[in-house]
Amino acid sequence: MNYDVFNGDADGLCALHQLRLENPAPATLVTGVKRDIKLLDRVEAGMGDQVTVLDISLDSNRKGLMRLLEAGASVEYFDHHYAGEIPLHQNLAAHIDLSAQVCTSILVDRYLRGHYRLWAIVAAFGDNLGQSGRALAKDAGLSEPETEKLASLGEYLNYNGYGDRLQDLHFEPGKLYEEMRPYPDPFDFIARSPAFDRLAAGFHHDISMVAPIRPLQAGGHHAAYMLPDEAWARRVNGVFANKLANDNPMSAHAVITSNRYGGYTVSVRAPITNPQGADTLCLKFETGGGRRAAAGINRLPADALEGFLAMFAEQFP
């Protein structure tokens, strides 16, 4: 049996889409909201089974990974998040690169030698890797309007992944993948899929809601914003952080959203001009993780907010 295990954001979706366009195979899909990353805990596989893992931290899934490997499953792992020590095991093929300008879909694009590069471009923009996305778009011979269309699609797909639970999303990630599946060309998805129109409308509505929000804390090269416990705020948490980063590339940003657990969900973006340190900060918290340029904390306790803000200001003075 095949299992496709993937992050529910743009990068996870586009990475899987590229792989299955190249190598179609029936598989059980295992995914969730963007911050639902310990996905291997939900997989029961053994001898003869193939598990493909996309865009979730190996370190966060180490226990589940080792369980699957020891049970005899073959695992192919593509990712760009903090991994810790990568296990040496005959059943594991790991494609992991922590470089700041790489996302999982770019790793898959390299693996497939560019066969479905347009979807890698979509993912790069979704992961706020504009420089990488534009470099790939130029290499593909795209015009500026074409590049902007793919950038918008990436942003919409990424936006859909944010939420405390699946009910917050416009599409469950597995269902959104099924919407994408018939389209080898993302321009056809943009032109023909009703899912694109629904995501675009939702994105523009939700992002308009942040206009009156002012910083909770601001310093020389950092700013933190607080969003309310509302579905629109949970959906826009990550894309708002990306917008702040792009609008103010020399500063770090944190977007803090009240969640249904009585605490906060946090998105952190390092300065685009110096894309490092976001993971270092977030990994200091129990539910933190991510990559150098962009990271987050899934459940920050309410009484830890003041401490987080102090550490954020210290990390990015």
CA distance 101 to 132: 6
Mean pLDDT of 267-285: 96
Closest CA to 11 of 138, 127, 165: 127
Q: How confident is the model over 226-239, as pLDDT tens digits?
A: 999 899 999 999 99
CA distance 173 to 177: 6
Contact criterion met (CB below 8 Å) for 62 and 90: no
DSSP secondary structure letter of residue 285: S
φ, ψ of residue 268 in degrees (nearest 5): -120, 135
Q: Encoding tokens for residue 272?
A: 């685009």
Report the half-sphere exposure of 163 (CA within 13 A, side-chain side): 22
Q: Encoding tokens for residue 194?
A: 């009703």
H or E stretch including 213? none
CA distance 36 to 240: 19
Q: How confident is the model over 155-171, as pLDDT tens digits?
A: 999 999 999 899 999 99
Domains within the chain, CATH numbers bracketed: 2-202 (3.90.1640), 217-315 (3.10.310.30)
Q: How confident is the model over 192-249, as pLDDT tens digits?
A: 999 999 999 999 999 999 999 999 999 999 999 999 989 999 999 999 999 999 999 9
